[in-house]
Chains A and B, each alone.
Chain A
Amino acid sequence: MLDSARMACGVGLLGLGIGLYAKQAKALPPLALRPPGALAEKDFLGACVRCGLCVRDCPYDILSLANPEQPVATGTPYFVARQLPCEMCDDIPCVKACPTGALEHQLTDINKAKMGLAVLVDQENCLNFLGLRCDICHRVCPVIDKAISLESRVNARTGKHTLFIPVVHSEHCTGCGKCEKGCPLPVAAIKVYPTELARGEPGEHYRLGWVEKEKAGGSLVAPDIQHQYNLPEGLRYESGRGFVPGGEAPPATPGMRPAVPRASQGDKL
Chain B
Amino acid sequence: MSVGAEAVAAKGWLGAHKWLLARRVSQLGILALFLLGPLAGVWIVKGNLTFSYTLDFLPLTDPYILLQTLLTGHLPETKAIVGVFIVLVLYALVGGRVFCSWVCPVNMVTDAAAWLRERLGIKGGAHVSRETRYWILAMTLILALATGTLAWELVNPVSMFHRGIIFGIGAAWAIILAVFLFDLFVMKDGWCGHLCPVGAFYSLIGKVSLLRTVAVERAACNDCLDCFVVCPEPQVIRPALKGVDGAGPVILAANCTNCGRCIDVCSKDVFAFGSRFGNRTGRHSSPAKSITPATCK
A interface residues with partner B (beta carbon < 8 Å)? 3, 7-8, 10-12, 14-15, 18-19, 21-23, 25-26, 42-43, 45-53, 55-57, 64-65, 67-70, 73-75, 97-102, 105
Contact = CB atoms under 8 A, between A and B. Distances in A.
Contacts of B140: 15
Contacts of A42: 148-149
Contacts of B4: none
Contacts of B144: 46
B153 A74 contact: yes
A229 B276 CA distance: 97
Interface string B29-44: 0000000010000010
29 contacts: A7-B129, A7-B131, A11-B138, A14-B136, A18-B155, A19-B146, A21-B151, A22-B147, A25-B149, A26-B149, A46-B72, A46-B73, A46-B74, A47-B74, A47-B76, A48-B150, A50-B159, A52-B46, A65-B168, A67-B168, A68-B170, A69-B170, A75-B153, A75-B160, A75-B163, A97-B53, A99-B53, A100-B76, A105-B77
Interface residues of B, number: 57
Contacts of B138: 11
B234 interface: no
A83 B120 CA distance: 48
Interface in B42-77: 43, 46-48, 50-53, 59, 61-62, 65-66, 69, 72-77
Contact of B135 (A8, A57, A69): A8
Contact of A19 (B143, B160, B163): B143
B247 interface: no
Contacts of B62: 49
B166 A52 contact: yes
B154 A74 contact: yes
B105 to A, nearest CB: 15
Nearest to A21: B154
Interface of B: 37, 43, 46-48, 50-53, 59, 61-62, 65-66, 69, 72-77, 79-80, 83, 129, 131-132, 135-136, 138-140, 142-144, 146-155, 159-160, 163-164, 166-172, 175
A100 B75 CA distance: 8
B173 to A, nearest CB: 10
Contact of A22 (B69, B129, B135, B154): B154
Contacts of B166: 52
Nearest to B168: A67
Contacts of B151: 18-19, 21-22
A55 B167 contact: yes
A99 B150 contact: no
Given A3-B129, A43-B74, A56 B170 contact: no
Contacts of B163: 50, 52, 65, 75
